[in-house]
Chain A
Amino acid sequence: MSYHDAHILDQYAYQASVVHRLDPRAKIIAILFFVIIVVSFPKYVFISLLPFAIYPLVLAILSGLSFRLLFRQVLIASPFFILVGLFNPFLDRTMIDVPFLGIQVRGGIISFASIALRGFLCVSGAVLLVSTSSFPRLVEALQALHLPKAFTVQLMFLYRYLFLLIEEAKRMSQARLLRSGGFRNSFSSARSMLSVLLIRTLHRAGAIWLAMRARGFQDEIKTARKMKWSFKDFIFLALSIIFCLWLRLIIFEQIKF
């Protein structure tokens, strides 16, 4: 996991662009739909999946997200699905005709390529969602989409203390490193550090609770912003759905590969 990248993604979320200004609800629904359509293809499909890459790439260009960061996130996510897919070329020996080229290729190779491409598309979707809407806005959207309030409040709290506590742990790690003369962290010292961090965290929870009570916290975090569903959100959602369905239902039926 890359803390550094997470922080950069978070900073991207506060930029301004056409994509950033869209209603986060529209983005959540559109990207989830995109992911579901992508994974709905049969396993021996590769070429029909390629045009789907247009969607995240266009969104990335419009929102100003760096391609490097996008690809790095995909790379970080890839080990599991690559490893699981890696067996396909050796286990699946059915021969499949490749259109356009007129050759036959092992089915496993195609399904492996397909898994890799699916991985890229799905991870890009998630990265774009979080890099074009600030997390608090996403949580507001989830609340508007009727997720339980206890859960959305928890997400909000977690986000607020996430980077703070990570910084604290990093400072502790650095302090240990400076005093250790380059020795790696032993089990017992890690245990002590974690315990100290945990106890500090519990103290912090106490302080936060007092502060919250003093400010009249009920059971939700109130924001002044209102969710507004505008015409451009509708257009974005409609275009996303039409694009996915067009590729899935019309283009795929013609190519079948």
Chain B
Amino acid sequence: MHMADALLSPAVGISFMALSGGALALSAKKLKESAEESKVPLMGVLGAFVFASQMINFTIPGTGSSGHLVGGILLMILLGPYAGFITVSSVLVIQALFFADGGLLALGANIWNMAFYTSFVGWLIYKSIVGKKPSQTRISLAVIIACVVCLELGALSVVGQTILSGISELPFKQFVILMMGIHLPIGLIEGIITVGVLNLVYRIRPGLIQESLGIKGREADALSYRSIAFGFALSAMVIGGGVAWFASSHPDGLEWSIFKSYGEEELPLSGKIKQKLAQVQEKISLLPDYGFKAEESEEAVQELEGESWPNISLGTSVAGILGSIFVLVIAGGIGVSIARLKKKKNAGNS
């Protein structure tokens, strides 16, 4: 999901530009230090591959709508976190300019929402799940989890940026439920198709993925055409074999349809919005009968965002309670997994 200029305030837009700019400068520096020039053409063509892959649509099983690969995760596995971040960011620049996705000021926010989470958080998740012994099961699991987590983080950021900007009137809680709910199936589908592609590539060229995680040094200068071609992929993967996911680049059809079928029909009555949202929530909730106190969930929201959100009206409606539970489950899950991953990472480094 691309953030739009129209919903941003200058303060939020410029802050995220600075954040993303910093991450970009850091990644460029790291990439230069790693001196992997051979990655340059690989990054270019893989960025173009992301666009090309969107020409190949498929039917999403069980629904009438069609989807396509977003491709960020493949990019990260093949390129590692730093090169991956630069590549995904470049894709976002092209999207903002040529495809009217996002905007100029929103570019910083979009790079943060999509490239940053997918490249760095996704990489941590992928790395810690796959570990030193990659297997198809582990890779599949890592890819799907990374997809869903990064997507939800991106969705959460879009909500945060919109609320902080103060242009939209959507209440934080409902907006979070809506966005995170919509992005859950999208994340799963993206994960599944990515796993599909990876598994096939794994079967044809097992080395591409297998060796990426075990090899420490750069592949020696290869002489033959073929070894050079795969040399890149290998050296690309040395940095980390990161996973990320181009979160919400083009959720198009699916997103529209979910929103339309549940959200739009009875919009004119604001009292019904809550009920409609509750319906959406019921459809998508992981644990619809799981009960938590409302205060707890509010705390979870605040914890996740790092600050208190003004005017969260915790209504007594069904939507309010169910929504809180949903947020708590997602927020808690993300929080716990990130904390664990960081712990693991730290333990690994020391």
**Chain A: residues with CB nearer than 8 A to chain B?**
1-3, 5-6, 9-10, 31-32, 35-36, 38-40, 43, 73-74, 76-77, 79-81, 83-88, 90-92, 108, 111, 114-116, 118-119, 122-123, 125-127, 129-130, 135, 138, 147-151, 153-162, 164-166, 168-170, 172-173, 184-195, 197-199, 201-210, 212, 217, 219
Which chain A positions have C-beta within 8 A of B68?
Answer: 190
Chain B's nearest CB lies how many Å from the CB of A179?
14
The closest CB in chain B to the CB of A191 belongs to B196
CB of A90 within 8 A of CB of B230, answer no
Give the docked Cα–Cα distance between A201 and B58 (Å): 20
Best-buried of A162, A202, A205, A209 by chain B (most CB within 10 Å): A205
Q: What per-residue 1/0 map shows which CB atoms of B186-217 lie under 8 Å from chain A?
A: 00000011001100110011001000000000
Q: Which residues of A contact B74 (CB under 8 A)?
A: 198
Residue B312 CB within 8 A of the other chain: no
Residues in B neighbouring A111, C-beta threshold 8 A: 167, 169
Which one, A39, A84, A158, contacts B44 given CB within 8 A? A158
- Indicate the member of A88, A123, A126, A169 with the most B CB atoms within 10 Å: A126
Interface hits, B10-63 → A, CB 8 Å? 10, 13-14, 24-25, 27-29, 31-32, 37-38, 40-49, 51-61
A248 → B minimal CB distance (Å): 11
A24 CB to nearest B CB, Å? 12
| Known pairs A2-B99, A39-B105, A188-B196 / 10 extra A-B pairs, C-beta < 8 Å | A36-B10, A76-B99, A84-B170, A119-B5, A158-B90, A158-B91, A197-B52, A201-B49, A205-B45, A205-B46
Please pick, from B31, B193, B200, B232, the residue contacting A187 in the complex, using a CB distance under 8 A: B193
* Contact yes or no, A195 B28, CB < 8 A: no
How far apart sit A129 and B27, CA to CA, in the bound complex (Å)? 26
**Cα A45 to Cα B178 with chains together (Å):** 27
Residue B166 is within 8 A (CB to CB) of chain A in the complex: yes
Q: How far is the CB of B201 from chain A (nearest CB, A)?
A: 5
Assuming the A-B contacts A130-B97, A185-B58, are A84 and B5 also in contact, with contact meaning beta carbons closer than 8 angstroms in the complex? no
Q: Contact: A193 with B250, CB < 8 Å? A: no
**How distant is B288 from chain A, measured CB to nearest CB, in Å?**
24
Interface size range on B against A: 35 or more
**A80-B175 Cα distance, complex, nearest whole Å:** 13
Are A122 and B4 in contact, with the CB atoms below 8 A? yes
Give bound CA distance, A10 to B57, whole Å. 24
B111 to chain A, nearest CB (A): 11
Chain A residues contacting B61 (CB-CB under 8 Å) are: 187
Chain B residues near A173 (CB-CB < 8 A): 55-57
| Main DSSP-derived SS at the B contact region | helix
Within the assembled complex, what's the spacing in Å between the Cα atoms of A90 and B230?
Answer: 56
Task: Determine whether the beta carbon of B204 is less than 8 Å from that of A126.
Answer: no
Looking at the assembled complex, report how far the CB atom of B204 sits from the nearest CB atom of chain A, in whole angstroms: 7
Partner of B6, one of A81, A127, A193: A81
Residue among B4, B42, B267 with the highest chain A CB neighbour number at 10 A: B4
Sampled A-B contacts (13; CB under 8 Å)? A3-B55, A39-B6, A74-B100, A87-B168, A92-B169, A125-B104, A130-B97, A172-B56, A186-B59, A187-B193, A191-B197, A195-B204, A206-B232
Residues of A within 8 A of B29 (CB): 148
The reply to whether the CB of B283 lies closer than 8 angstroms to some CB of chain A is: no
Min Cβ gap B315→A in Å is: 13
Q: Tell me if B336 counts as interface (CB < 8 A to partner A).
A: no
Residue from A111, A147, A158, A201 with most neighbouring chain B CB atoms (10 Å): A158
The chain B residues found within 8 Å of chain A, CB to CB, are: 1-2, 4-10, 13-14, 24-25, 27-29, 31-32, 37-38, 40-49, 51-61, 66, 68-69, 74, 78, 86-87, 89-91, 93-101, 103-105, 162, 166-171, 192-193, 196-197, 200-201, 204-205, 208, 225-226, 228-233, 250, 252, 256, 259, 267-270, 273
Q: A81-B6, A115-B7 are in contact. Are A157 and B40 (CB under 8 A)?
A: yes
- B94 adjacent to A158 (CB under 8 Å): yes
Q: Is the CB of B42 within 8 A of A126?
A: no
B31 partner, pick from A32, A150, A191, beta carbons under 8 A:
A150
Which residue from A88, A123, A159 sits with its C-beta under 8 Å from B103? A123
Nearest CB on A from B335, distance (A): 26
Contacts of A92 in B (CB 8 A): 169
Q: Give the distance to chain A from B109, nearest Cβ to Cβ, in Å.
A: 12
Q: Looking across the interface, which residue of chain B has its beta carbon closest to that of A211?
A: B41
Residues of B within 8 A of A43 (CB): 166-167
- Taken together as a complex, chains A and B put the C-alpha atoms of A189 and B58 apart, in Å, by 8
Roughly how many angstroms separate A203 CA and B32 CA in the complex, as a whole number? 24
Residues of B within 8 A of A205 (CB): 41-42, 44-46, 229, 232
Query: When the two chains form their complex, are residues A35 and B51 in contact, meaning their CB atoms are under 8 A apart?
Result: no
Residue of A nearest to B268 (CB): A90
Chain B residues near A3 (CB, 8 Å)? 51, 55
Q: Is the CB of B38 within 8 A of A209?
A: yes
**A187-B58, A195-B197 given as contacts; is B5 within 8 A of A35 (CB)?**
yes
Are A185 and B59 CB-contacts (below 8 A) given A151-B90, A195-B204, A197-B52?
yes
The answer to whether residues A168 and B100 also contact, given A123-B5, A199-B201, A206-B226 and a CB cut-off of 8 A, is no
Which of B1, B47, B57 lies at the interface centre, i.e. has the most chain A CB atoms within 10 A of its CB?
B47
CB distance B197 to A198 under 8 Å?
yes
The answer to whether B170 and A126 have CB atoms under 8 Å apart is: no
Nearest 7 pairs of A and B residues by beta carbon: A157-B44, A206-B229, A148-B28, A190-B58, A122-B5, A119-B6, A169-B52
